[in-house]
Amino acid sequence: MQILDGKLAAQHTKDTLKKEVDEIIAAGKRAPHLAAILVGNNGASETYVASKVKNCTEIGFASTLIRLGEDSSEATLLQEIEKLNNDDAVDGILVQLPLPKHISEQKVTESVNPLKDVDGFHPISAGKLVLGLPTFISATPYGIMLLLEHYNIPTRGKHAVVIGRSNIVGRPMSILLSSNHPHGNCTVTLCHSHTQNLKELCQRADILVAALGKPEFVTADMVKEGAVVIDVGITRVPDSTAKRGYVIKGDVAFNGVAPKTSFITPVPGGVGLMTIAGLLKNTLQAYRTRQQ
Ligand SMILES: Nc1nc(=O)c2c([nH]1)NC[C@@H]1CN(c3ccc(C(=O)N[C@@H](CCC(=O)O)C(=O)O)cc3)C=[N+]21
């Protein structure tokens, strides 16, 4: 069993990006710029957005964090997005999800200029992904592809099972793994809450991606000997004995599952960090496209 170390692979991506930024600056150009909007005060979202901003700084990107109160109207948020759409000095726009219930996530996603859609959530970006056209790939599936690439994990002809059909992870992941890509060409089974015989399907997976958001859902009896297991789950579970009052759990029961696998991602320290790497790569791509 080998750990797929998201920290290591993300650092590799960031080192490469930093070199590219250094060259851009040396050529007398402005730095790539990511703008993030955070609405309300969801604890996990605060952590993730802070980490995104910190990572931008580390590699020499400019970043702007716009904070709006929990009670902000949808109209206010759409106005902020429009300002960023029209700001030539902004390359990438990210609106952290989830949004408060009174705001339509669909309306918000559709209002982001597709040229700046570094999350890859706009219908145009999602549509291009389905067609195999160059686009912004949403950060988590992109990060997972980068991780498979970093560790040179063979995927061609393998059976990949993805649990979860969300627009931001499961669905795009299933498309990428099935696509004609150096780390695609899998036969993909996409499972969800209505799937029958989930356990049997998982047992047949060479590559198992758990993205359903249920802590420790995948147990050892569901995993084939030698499988590659990618854990996308990240849930804060209250724990009074923990320093912060919670522990972070993935969708995979790591201790039981890990010994059966050939490769497995830990939580934390796996996919989450690669998500940020994917986002940064998208931002540089947005910058380059917009400079042309
Ligand atoms: N518009 C939008 N884009 C996103 O990309 C997006 C989003 N909304 N909403 C929420 C999810 C989740 N997400 C993570 C990012 C980093 C870590 C991360 O850095 N995790 C670390 C630290 C974990 C911790 O301490 O909580 C780790 O796994 O080691 C995790 C999860 C991005 N998301």
Q: Are strands 187-191 and 33-39 parallel, antiparallel or unpaired?
A: unpaired
Query: Which of the listed residues 42, 234, 254 should we mutate to test ligand 1's pocket, taking the one with most ligand atoms within 8 A of CB?
Result: 234
Distance 272 CA to ligand 1 centre (A): 5
Count the alpha carbons within 13 Å of 136 in the hemisphere toward its beta carbon.
Answer: 34
Count the alpha carbons within 13 Å of 219 in the hemisphere toward its beta carbon.
Answer: 3
* First-last CA distance in the chain: 45
Which residues contact residue 230 at a Cβ distance below 8 angstroms, ignoring those fewer than 6 apart? 4, 144, 147, 207, 208, 209, 210, 264, 265, 270, 271
Q: Is 119 a catalytic residue?
A: yes
DSSP letter at 262 equals: S
Structure tokens at 24: 């851009």
What amino acid is encoded at 78 in this protein? L
Q: What is the CA radius of gyration of the chain?
A: 19
Can you list the domains of the chain with their CATH numbers?
A: 28-114 (3.40.50.10860), 139-272 (3.40.50.720)
pLDDT values of the chain reduced to their tens digit, one per residue, 292 residues = 999 999 999 999 999 999 999 999 999 999 999 999 999 999 999 999 999 999 999 999 999 999 999 999 999 999 999 999 999 999 999 999 999 999 999 999 999 999 999 999 999 999 999 999 999 999 999 999 999 999 999 999 999 999 999 999 999 999 999 999 999 999 999 999 999 999 999 999 999 999 999 999 999 999 999 999 999 999 999 999 999 999 999 999 999 999 999 999 999 999 999 999 999 999 999 999 999 8
